[in-house]
Structure 1
Amino acid sequence: MQGVTDSLTVRDNRTGAEYDVPINDGAIKAADIGKIKADENGPGLAVYDPGFVNTASCRSSVTYIDGEAGILEYRGYPIEQLAEDSTFLEVAYLLIHGDLPTREQYEAWVHEITYHTYVHENVKDFMHGFRYDAHPMGMLMASVGALSTFYPESRNIADEENRHIQIVRMIAKMPTLGAWSFRHAQGKPYIYPDNELSYTENFLSMLFKMSEHRYDADPRIAKALDVLFILHADHEQNCSTNAVRSVGSSQVDPYSAVASGIGALFGPLHGGANEAVLKMLRRIGSTDNIPAFIDGVKNGDERLMGFGHRVYKNYDPREDHQEGLRRRLRGDGRQPAAAGRPGAGEDRARGRVLRQAQALPQRRLLLRPDLRGARVPARDVHGPLRDRPHPRVAGPVVGAGPGQGAEDRPAQADLHR
C-alpha cells in the first residue's frame, strides 16, 4: 500500500515560527519534529512516548491487526482460515516468505525442520547444570543464547543462505529446548526428538513420554497445539518482538537476539501472563470464591490477569479457536485416572483449573465498567505502520494444507518481505 503524503503545519508559540511536517501513511517522523528548535543552536524537540503508545517503530506487511473490528491477518490471510485449514509449519513459511508454500516447498521445509530438531550433546550437559527448581523460561532463554556458541557462523547475517539455516535451526530446536526445560523442572529424563512424528506430535512426545516405545499423541491434542501455535505465531510489534529487533539492530547473531525476546516474554505483563493466570486461578481455589475475588479486583486488592489483549476493543478473533482448544482439553482422549493411581491428582487439578477458567467469562468481565483501569493490566502493544496486504481470499482457504500446488492457490499480493 502506497502512503498518501500530506503535511501538518505546526506553530511554535515560543518563537512564532511555523513548520510544515510531512504526513506519510498517517504518521509523522520524530526526526522532523526534532527540527523545531527554540533557538538555532539549541536542541530540537523530542517525542516522549513511553511504551510506544502512539509510535510506529517500523513498516510491516507481515501481520495486520484492526483492534476495533477484531481483525487479525497474516500476510493477508484471516487468522480464522489459517487456524482451520493450515498447519503451523505452513503458517511459519507464510510469515517468513510472504507466500504459502507449494507442495515441493512445503515438503522441503518440513524435511529441513524435522532433521534439525536435535541439539549438540553439550547443550544437554549445559541444561543439566541448572538447579532442580530452575524456571523453565530462564533455562530456555539461556540455552537459546548458548546456541550462538555452537553456530558461530550465525554472526554472518549478511549471507542469505546462512540466515535461512539459522531460521530452520531456531524453529526446529525450540521445541526440544522448551520440552527439556519443562522436563528438568519435573525431575524427569530428557526425551530425544522423534523424526517420525509431526512437529507438534514430536513436541508432545518430548514433553510427556515416559517408558513407552513411542509416544502416541492424541490427534485432537496435537491439532489443538498446532492451532495454538498458529494463533500466537505473530502479533505485530509486541514487547518481545521489539526486544529482538532492538538487540538484533546491533547485528548480533539471531540466537542472542531471540534470547532477549524470550527474556521479554518471561515478564508477567507479556507471555508470563499465562503463568500469572494459572497462579491466580489456583489462588482463587474454588468457583465459590470467584465473587469475592471480583470484589477484590474492584476495590484494588486483586489484579485480573489474562483476560484479553488491549489491542482488541470489541472482539479477539483468536477467541473462537481458543474455545475450541478448551473443548479439546476438556476431552483430551485420555480416561481420567482412577483414584489412587498415577495421574489421578493431575487429572483432578487440570479439571479444577479449567472449571475456574470457564467460570470467568472473558467478554463479560472486559465489558464491565467497574473493572476498568489499573486493576485490569494493559498488555503490551508496540504498533508498526501497517501496510495491509490486499485481501487474497473471499472464502475459506481451499486446500491450504500440505499438498496444494501453486497453480491452485489464490493470487498473491506484492508484499514487502
Structure 2
Amino acid sequence: MASQPTPAPAANDNAARETLSITDNRTGKTYQVPIRDGTIRAMDLRQIKTDAEDFGLMTYDPAFMNTASTRSSITFIDGDKGILRYRGYPIEQLAEKSNFLETAYLILYGELPTEAQYKDWEYKILHRTFLHENIKMVMQAFRYDAHPMGMFISTVAALSTYYPESAQVGDPEVRFKQITRLIAKVPTIAAFSYRHIRGLPYVYPDNDLSYTGNFLRMLDMMTQVKYEPDPVKAHALDVLFILHADHEQNCGTNAMRAIGSSQVDPYSAMAGAAAALYGPLHGGANEEVLKMLTQIEHVKNVPAFIEKVKKGEGRLMGFGHRVYKNYDPRAKIIKRTADQVFQTTGVNPLLEIALELERIALQDDYFVSRKLYPNVDFYSGLIYQAMGFPVAFFPVLFAIPRTVGWLAQWV
C-alpha cells in the first residue's frame, strides 16, 4: 500500500511553533513571546514582571554580541560558510566584474544600474568632487603633521556648515544630493589631507578621470601636464573600495545610525561614524598586521613566533574575525589583487613573511580548530604600503568606500 502524504500542519500550529515559551521561576508565570526571523523583540520581555512595581525584564548585551539592531537587506554575511553579498550579489562577482561607483549604486538603490542610469550617476558624482575654497583653507589651518584621519573627520563635519539645507533630512531630494556630495568629496578631502602631511600643494580634481583614477591624480600629481593614473593601481583601489564598502552593523555603522536617528544632517552623522573608524580596534587592524610582520623581521623567525602565539605570549594579527568562522572571502580577493599590484610596485619585503605565516597557520591544528583564518586586514596593509601610502593614511583609505555603506544604512 502506498504511503499517504503527511497532512500540512494547521495554521494555528505553525503560529504556536513560532513562539518562545518563557517560565519565570520567580512567579511561576509562563509567557509566549513571538519569534520572527530567528529573533525575539527585547520589548516583548518587558511584560515579565515580579509585581506591578517591577519595571520589567530587560536584556543585557554589551557590544551587541547577540543583538540584532535593525532589519537590513543591504549586506548578507554567512560567517560559517565565508559568504559576503551586497544586495544578493556575491562579493567575488562584484570585485571581478564591477567597479566601485557601480557597486555604490547597487548598495544604495538595491539593484545594479542600467547603462543610462550609470552614466547619470557617474556624472553626478564626478562633477561634485570640488571643495569650497574656504573648506580648503580650513584644512590648510591644521598643523603640518596633523593626523590625516583627524583632518578627514573635522572636514566632513565642517561641510554641514556649507550646506545648511542638508538639515532637511525628511526631503528625499535633499537627502540624495547630500549622498552624491559626500561620495564625491571624500576622495578630495582624503587627498588634500595626504598632500598636507607631505607638505605638498593640494591638487584639484580632474573630472575627466575615473573615481579612483582621479583620486590617484590628486594624491600623486607633481609637474605633469596631464596625469595618467596607473591602471593597475586604479583597479586595485576599485577592488579594495568594493571590499570595504559595507559590512553589516559594525561599530562605525552603528554610530552612523545612532547619530542619524536624532535627524541631524548626514555630514555630522558621518563625522561620528568616521571617528568610530579612527579607533585602532575598528579601522586600525591592518596597521597592527604590519607591526607584527615588522617585528618578526625575517621568514626564518615565523615558526618561533607561531609557537609564542600558541603559548599565549603574542597575538596573530590579521587572523580570525568576529563574524567569519571560515576564510574571509575578501581576503582571497585581496591576495589576488596584491599579486597584480606587486608586479607594478615590486614585492613588499614583508610579503614573504606573511605568506609563510599563512602557510604554517593554515596547517596547524591549533589555529584550524579555532577557525582562525586570514581576514581582510592581513593583506590590505601590504598593498597600501606597496602603493606608497603611510600607515597613518590607512583609516582614511577605509573611510572613503565605507562612506557608501554608512549612507545606505542612514538613508
TM-score, reference length from structure 2? 0.82
Alignment of 1:371-386 (within 5 A): none
2:227 equivalent to 1:215: yes
Q: Equivalents in 1 of 2:27, 2:330: separation in Å? A: 51
Q: Distance in 2 between matches of 1:306 and 1:66?
A: 19
* 1:301 to partner: Cα distance: 3.5
% identical equivalent positions: 56
**Which of residues 270, 282, 294 in structure 1 aligns to 2:294?**
282
What is the RMSD of the two structures over their aligned residues, measured on CA atoms?
2.4
* 1:300-354: CA deviation from partner (whole Å, max 9, x where unpaired): 343222224331112222222111211122112x5x6xxxxxxxxxxxxx72233
Find the aligned partners of 1:378 and 1:48 in 2 and give their Cα distance.
Answer: 29
Contact 1:307 1:362 (8 Å CA) reproduced = no
Distance 1:376 1:319 in 2: 9
Q: Which amino acid is 1:118 matched to?
A: F
Change in CA separation of 1:181 and 1:311 when aligned onto 2, cut-off 3 Å: same
Structure 1 position 260 matched with structure 2 position 257:
no
Where do 1:3-402 residues align within 5 Å?
6-332=18-344, 351-361=348-358, 364=361, 368-369=365-366
Tell me the alpha carbon deviations over residues 71-111 of structure 1, each in whole angstroms, 9 at most, x when there is no partner.
11111111111111111101100110111111111001000
Kindly provide the amino acid, as one letter, of the partner of residue 163 in structure 1. R
Change (3 A) 1:77 1:370: closer
- Which deviates more, 228-237 or 130-139? 130-139
Supply the distance in 2 between the matched residues of 1:293 and 1:267 (Cα, whole angstroms).
Answer: 26
Cα deviations by residue, 1:374-414 (Å, 9 ceiling, x for unpaired): x99999xxxxxxxxxxxxxxxxxxxxxxxxxxxxxxxxxxx
| Closer/same/farther in 2, CA of residues 139 and 359 from structure 1, 3 Å limit | farther
CA–CA distance in 2 between the matches of 1:239 and 1:355?
A: 32
Counterpart contact for 1:64–1:75, Cα < 8 Å: yes
Deviation at 1:362, TM superposition (A): 7.4
CA distance in 2, matches of 1:351, 1:237: 33
Cα pair 2:320 2:375 within 8 Å, conserved: no
**Alignment partner of 1:172: what SS?**
helix
- In 2, the alpha carbon distance for the partners of 1:291 and 1:24 equals 48
Give, in whole Å, the separation in 1 of the partners of 2:227 and 2:305. Answer: 40
| Map of 1:386 onto structure 2 | none
15-24 vs 353-362, greater mean Cα deviation: 353-362
Query: 2:380 maps to what in 1?
Result: none
Output the amino acid matched with 2:293. L
* C-alpha distance after superposition, 1:201-243 (max 9, x if no partner): 1111112222222322221111111011111111111111111
Matched-pair contact (CA < 8 Å) for 1:308–1:362: no
In structure 2, what is the Cα distance between the partners aligned to 1:377 and 1:37? Answer: 46
SS of 2:349's partner is: helix
Contact 1:304 1:376 in 2 (8 A): no
Cα gap change, 1:145/1:228 in structure 2, threshold over 3 Å: closer, same or farther?
same
Distance in 2 between residues matched to 1:362 and 1:137, nearest whole Å: 34
Query: Separation in 2 of the partners of 1:194 and 1:279?
Result: 36
Gaps in structure 2 of 5+ consecutive residues: 1-13, 377-410
CA contact (8 A) 2:310 2:366 kept: no
**CA, structure 1 residues 130+62, in 2 after alignment: closer, same or farther (shift >3 Å)?**
same
Q: 1:362 to 1:169 in 2, by over 3 A?
A: farther
Equivalent residue letter for 2:317:
M
User: Do 1:117 and 1:172's aligned partners in 2 also have CA atoms closer than 8 Å?
Assistant: yes
Confirm or deny: 8 A CA contact 2:126 2:184 kept in the other structure. yes
C-alpha distance in structure 2 between counterparts of 1:363 and 1:67, whole Å? 23
Three-state SS of the structure 1 residue aligned to 2:194 is: helix
Name the CA shift for 1:208/1:365 in 2 (closer, same or farther; >3 Å): farther
Relative distance call for 1:29 and 1:132 in structure 2 (3 A) is: same
Structure 2 partner of 1:398: none
Gap runs ≥5 in structure 1: 337-349, 380-416
Count of paired positions: 361
